[in-house]
Amino acid sequence: MTYRQLTREQRYQIYALKKAAHSRTEIATIIGVHKSRLTRTCAQLRAARLSPQAGA
């Protein structure tokens, strides 16, 4: 299995779906990633206090 970074569009989509109160499982299914990856991404964004543009 190879690692691919989330795209800017995916990060924006995560942000919007979280604002709309979707669960992490629902968001992971919608954007097509495993929920553990989504959880790590959310934790990294929270820890760094970054917007969805971070890392772009």
Q: How confident is the model at residue 40 (pLDDT cuts 50, 70, 90)?
A: confident
Asked if 31 and 22 touch (Cβ cutoff 8 Å), the reply is no
State mean pLDDT over 19-40: 91
Asked if 15 and 41 touch (Cβ cutoff 8 Å), the reply is no
Q: Nearest Cα to 34, choosing from 22, 21, 24?
A: 24
- Centre a 10 Å sphere on the Cβ of residue 28 and count the other Cβ atoms it contains: 20
Mean pLDDT of the chain: 82
Tell me the C-alpha distance between 20 and 3, whole Å: 28
Indicate the pTM of the whole model. Answer: 0.69
What percent of the residues of the chain are helix, what percent strand, and what percent coil, each to the nearest 5? 60, 0, 40
pLDDT at 23: 92
